[in-house]
Amino acid sequence: MNFRDLLLKAKNEKFAIPQFNINNLEWAKYILEVCEEEKSPVFLGVSSGAAKYMGGFNVVVGMVRGLIKDLNITVPVMIHLDHATTFELCREAVDAGFDSIMFDGSKLDYEENIKITNEVKKYLKGQLLEAEIGKIGGEEDGLANELMFTTLEEAEDFISKTDIDMLAPALGSVHGIYKGEPNIKTDIMKDISSKTNMPLVLHGGSGIPEETLKKAVQCGITKANFNTELQLGWHEDVLKFVESNKEVYDPRKVISSGEQGLKKVAREYIRILGSGGKA
């Protein structure tokens, strides 16, 4: 089944496909292993900052394709560019062989966002396209963003003027750690979903309580993104390991001491989103 059909299946059957963001080889390996065990399709989210950290878009594609082959991964995997803010970044990722692109024009004025989204669409060679309207708050690649809610009218207008596969509306979720209880506008989410039939993406999944995530999936979320909680799960176990193994300097032992912590978080989100067994 191709991924476009899979998104529609998720929307109809009310489950969501996870996007787990990767930072390095280990992140990619652990996430692929968990998704294979749970038989969950997955988007491997790669921010441009993370791609740069790993060496570039070609490194990411080569590494992930190599892992899929050597680890015998059979579940559908999309290598997805997360929050590209320029056409140029989208072009580079497409040329390197990414499967899915998010052009994030939310910091541009609205008409400019539509214009560049359409330019990116024209350049694609079959990749999925995600766009953002409104402004998702919080922190991305170390930069703070303000939050601005998306309205139904804006979503309908944007969708009618572009040809996207997924829309990320800003409905109260933020990237990074929440200050206080997340206030997600699931009523607007449900309206946008039912009136446009567009697969919707929830950014800033970390820190959103299980019940709210489940409600968001019922209200039309078909892809939900997680980064921070994976890092926290990994970090907690690494700290414990380092504190009691100060003499260990083999990077493989240090980095992999967080494997189970990270995998536990990913597995939990697959359960909450209902994507296990859907591959």
Residues near ligand 13P (CB under 6 A) are 21, 45, 82-83, 175-176, 203-206, 225-229
Judged by CB, which is closer to ligand 13P: 161, or 215? 215
Nearer to ligand 13P by Cβ, of 76 and 138: the residue is 138
Q: Closer CB to ligand 13P, residue 236 or residue 248?
A: 236
Q: How far is the CB of 19 from ligand 13P (least distance, A)?
A: 7
**Between 76 and 207, whose beta carbon lies closer to ligand 13P?**
207
Cα–Cα distance, 229 to 29 (Å, whole number): 17
Smallest distance, Å, CB 192 to ligand 13P?
A: 18
Token pair recorded at residue 191: 């309206």
State the amino acid at position 241 in one-letter form: F
| 82 a catalytic residue | yes
Which residue's CB is nearer to ligand 13P, number 71 or number 148? Answer: 148
> Which three-class secondary structure state does DSSP give residue 200?
strand
Contact 138, 182 (CB under 8 A): no
Runs of H (alpha helix) within the chain: 3-13, 25-38, 48-54, 57-70, 87-96, 110-123, 152-161, 186-196, 210-218, 228-244, 251-256, 259-273
Shortest Å, Cβ 217 to ligand 13P: 15
Cα 187 to Cα 7, 133, 182, 184, distances in angstroms: 21, 17, 14, 9
Closest of 171, 234, 189, 230 to residue 206, by C-alpha = 230
Q: How far is the CB of 208 from ligand 13P (least distance, A)?
A: 8
Taking the alpha carbons at both ends of the chain, their separation in whole angstroms is: 9
Q: Which of 70, 82, 191, 237 is catalytic?
A: 82
Closest CA to 176 of 213, 198, 206, 135: 206
Least separation in angstroms between CB 276 and ligand 13P: 19
Rounded Cα gap, residues 224 and 202, in angstroms: 5
Annotated catalytic residues are: 82
